[in-house]
Structure 1
Amino acid sequence: MIKFDKKIQEEIEEINHNPAIINILEVICQTTGMGFAVVARVTEKRWIALAVKDNINFGLTSGGELNINTTICNEILKHHEPVVVDNFEEDEMYKCHQTPLIYGLKSYISFPIFLKNGDFFGTLCAIDPNPAKVKTAQVRGMFNLFTDLISFHLNAMEEIRVSQIKLEEERKEAKFREQFIAILGHDLRNPVGAINSAVQLQLRLPLDERTFKLAKIIQDSSKRTIGLINTMLDLAQGKLGRGIALNYTAGKKLENTLNEVITELRTISPDRVIEVEMNLKEEIRCDHKRVAQLFSNVLGNALTHGAKDQPVVIRALSNEKGFELIVTNPGTKIPEETMNNLFKPFSRGEITSRHEGLGLGLYIASEIARAHHGKLEAKSNDEYTSMTFSIEKNNIFT
């Protein structure tokens, strides 16, 4: 049993079972009158038949080998030129060549096959024990066309092979991400939660001033760590394709949810003016906690990057046409390159390069909008920047 490396074995199986290449070999035999045609893999050490059409019982099948030193393909490997012989007995260059003497040949044609990158792959050959008229422009043109088609097929095979390798790598990466999520969801969040609970109990005790400050630092840091873990979990859920999960809220007004976010950020930025216009004629079906997260990210972004001496304007509207939440802040225009990546993870760009954070806020906000079958869009010019969260009327009203 002849053994081949994995790649050659794949080439034998794929080429030998390709109907187009089998048809090419049949056309060659019918057109030239020659009895044997083959696509051969040729290297410095080996000559291997990948696909064969044998009408003369030459005795070589797919996967069969010839001694490379007994073939003319060995010479084609070196000079990269086709060899065409009508009759070896009458050919001045090849009449004493060993190949026709060894294999009992009279006529022969072999054209090199090159890969897309220019590398030599092998040959397309036809042979016969009788003379044949193959030194014609028509036969040469046919072989040129067929070798180009085989080359195209080989390149397609390689691209598929590379794609399969990449797909397998992506599957492994997806599995790794799932494991990473599990670590974040359990192994990290649980101990940080325990730290936060313990420091809350500590803060209820009588503490001296220094100990109280240290406990507050631990509390603030643990809360921030929990927030980062939750943000990374949201990122992972979005990137894995499942999207952010929603828990639809019942019995609560969206206006109250939005006002809670506004109150919180006014407390954090007491020197900023926030103007609000709300006209929510219809309650929408949504996850209030997630909408609050989206709104907090967008409004926080506006307060951070907008002009400090001008108000941030909020408009929230809902009616029979749908829902819109618009946050507008005066300021300089966001660069086009940054705009193109605004809702991509870890894209901080020029507008955020001086500020802390992972660059995930707007990405997660856009994922929350997508989970609600809505969208988050940004517009920016020399006067202001606005972000709009919108949901069309279909299936949003309670």
Structure 2
Amino acid sequence: MVHTLNSAAADIAMIGRIHAVPSILQVVAESSGLRFVTIARVTDQHWAACAVLDRLGFGLQVGGELPLPSTLCQEVLASLGTVVIDKASTDPVYRDHDAPRQYRFESYISVPIVLGEGSFFGTLCAFDPLPARLKGSSVQAMMEGFARLIAVQIDSEAQMLRTEAALRHERELAELREQFIAVLGHDLRNPLFAIEAGAQLLLRRRHDERNRAVLDHIVSCSRRASRLVEDVLDFARGKLGSGLSVHMQECPELAVTLRHVVDELQHIHPHRSLLLQLGELAGVHCDGERVGQLLSNLLSNAIVHGAADTPVTVRAGCEGGYFVLSVHNHGEPIETALLGKLFQPFSRLATEPTRSGLGLGLYIAQQIAQAHGATLDVSSSKALGTLFTFRLPLPSSDTSLALPAPK
């Protein structure tokens, strides 16, 4: 198999980056007495010089090409074996070959350079107008060793080039991610905010019931679109960027935040029963806004999947050195096979309405937990219902207030 991954120019440049090549050519010339030494890039159609040591005045430069049929490298390519000639004019195999007469050499040696994956790159070859003892000599063994060394260096250079190309690709992807996040963060959120603010302003004026219903619908849709944008933005940060960021601090207003989330979803779902049980929350260090977002996602999920005739219970408090926030609902249990997939992005249950969201809510909730250094677990059974539990270590383990079990 002939090495064809790069153009001849790229292969010549790669040989030029191998610092040992000039020394190899010089050692070959000094040890063998052959005054022309080259590394040739050989394909089934072309012969090009990648490195040259010319003490004969032969005139071939790096990048120079010779007709492949006029060289003996064609035989090396065909056999993948070394061609050695001590005296071409009397050699029984090559005395009638055009190459010795055309290039006026008597002694000649050409060694194949075979890369690690078995492909043929070219040859390390040398010749001289004077005859020399080369067959079976230390010169032949040395040049074959140098050919293997060159092959290793070529493989290393090729791997480095692939790595550099991969890094450039990753940098380009990183720039695209940043642009994507910027578009979501600015170009989409700002117009949605303007739509909602304008609709809110119009709602303050007198309108008939039909116009008010239209404006309420505009506000509702803009808020829903904003939530979807926030979900995708958080997905981009968590999956494509550097992860969700949290601002850890003491949260004395955490109870207010959690109550606000429950009240907001109760307003959206007036026919559902949502119960909030708050224990002692003093000393909790967290990102209150992110914890509120986590609760909103878990509670929305429970409302969608929970039994409509039973309450959804939210409990928050401190116990055993942890801040514990849980959301519990009754209804059909989650299949065991699906439990491990709940926190994957864009995942849905088979019973989930197709327009209930993007399927990012639980994924984002888990990302918020991980950013806090906390855990988010789920259990589900017919008898006990479905329970999501967020556990955040407290700065100190003095708190031991137990929470009542969900009913």
Query: Smaller-chain TM-score range?
Result: 0.7 to 0.9
TM-score of the pair, normalised by structure 1: 0.75
Amino acid at match of 1:335: A
Instruction: Give the Å deviation of 1:91.
Output: 3.3
Alpha-carbon contact 2:302-2:329 (below 8 Å) kept: yes
Instruction: Give the Å deviation of 1:44.
Output: 4.8
**Per-residue Cα deviation, 1:201-254 (whole angstroms, up to 9, x for no partner):** 322333233222222222211221222233333333334534434455666332
Hey, what does 1:241 align to over in structure 2? 241
Hey, what does 2:392 align to over in structure 1? 391
Hey, what does 1:124 align to over in structure 2? 124
Alpha-carbon contact 2:115-2:121 (below 8 Å) kept: yes
Give, in whole Å, the separation in 2 of the partners of 1:349 and 1:61.
69
Instruction: Give the Å deviation of 1:368.
Output: 2.6
Amino acid at match of 2:366: S
Alpha-carbon contact 1:348-1:359 (below 8 Å) kept: yes
**Per-residue Cα deviation, 1:334-390 (whole angstroms, up to 9, x for no partner):** 536x735x4444344657574532222233323333443x14444456666554434
TM-score of the pair, normalised by structure 2: 0.74
Give, in whole Å, the separation in 2 of the partners of 1:64 and 1:368.
62
Give, in whole Å, the separation in 2 of the partners of 1:357 and 1:366.
17
Hey, what does 1:283 align to over in structure 2? 283
Overall identity of the aligned pairs, in %: 37
Alpha-carbon contact 2:40-2:47 (below 8 Å) kept: yes
CA 86–377 in structure 1, closer or farther in 2 if over 3 Å, else same: farther
Q: Does the residue aligned with 1:363 lie in a helix, a strand or coil?
A: helix
1:332 aligns with 2:334: yes
Q: Which runs of no fewer than 5 residues in structure 2 stay unpaired? A: 1-5, 399-407
**Per-residue Cα deviation, 1:21-69 (whole angstroms, up to 9, x for no partner):** 5676677668877665543212355422224566777665644444434
Amino acid at match of 2:99: T
Residues 238-277 of structure 1 aligned to structure 2 (within 5 Å):
238-239=238-239, 241-247=241-247, 252-269=252-269
Amino acid at match of 2:364: I
1:84 aligns with 2:83: yes
Give, in whole Å, the separation in 1 of the partners of 2:138 and 2:353.
66
Hey, what does 1:13 align to over in structure 2? 13
1:107 aligns with 2:108: yes
**Per-residue Cα deviation, 1:42-99 (whole angstroms, up to 9, x for no partner):** 235542222456677766564444443431123444x253242242345322122222
Hey, what does 1:3 align to over in structure 2? none
CA 214–60 in structure 1, closer or farther in 2 if over 3 Å, else same: same
Residues 169-318 of structure 1 aligned to structure 2 (within 5 Å):
169-239=169-239, 241-247=241-247, 252-269=252-269, 278-280=278-280, 282-306=282-306, 314-318=314-318
1:42 aligns with 2:42: yes
Amino acid at match of 2:218: I
Give, in whole Å, the separation in 1 of the partners of 2:275 and 2:26.
80
Amino acid at match of 2:16: N
Q: Which runs of no fewer than 5 residues in structure 1 stay unpaired? A: 1-5
Give, in whole Å, the separation in 1 of the partners of 2:80 and 2:180.
56
CA 158–186 in structure 1, closer or farther in 2 if over 3 Å, else same: same
Amino acid at match of 1:17: R
Q: Does the residue aligned with 2:206 lie in a helix, a strand or coil?
A: coil
Give, in whole Å, the separation in 1 of the partners of 2:179 and 2:141.
58
Alpha-carbon contact 1:89-1:106 (below 8 Å) kept: no
Hey, what does 1:356 align to over in structure 2? 356
Give, in whole Å, the separation in 2 of the partners of 1:350 and 1:142.
68
Amino acid at match of 1:171: R
Alpha-carbon contact 2:379-2:386 (below 8 Å) kept: yes
Instruction: Give the Å deviation of 1:292.
Output: 0.2
Give, in whole Å, the separation in 2 of the partners of 1:325 and 1:134.
83
Give, in whole Å, the separation in 2 of the partners of 1:275 and 1:200.
29
Give, in whole Å, the separation in 2 of the partners of 1:322 and 1:54.
78
Hey, what does 2:402 align to over in structure 1? none
Give, in whole Å, the separation in 1 of the partners of 2:171 and 2:49.
35
Instruction: Give the Å deviation of 1:111.
Output: 1.4
CA 382–159 in structure 1, closer or farther in 2 if over 3 Å, else same: farther
Alpha-carbon contact 2:307-2:329 (below 8 Å) kept: yes
Q: Does the residue aligned with 2:95 lie in a helix, a strand or coil?
A: coil
Pick which of 244-253 and 360-369 moved more.
244-253
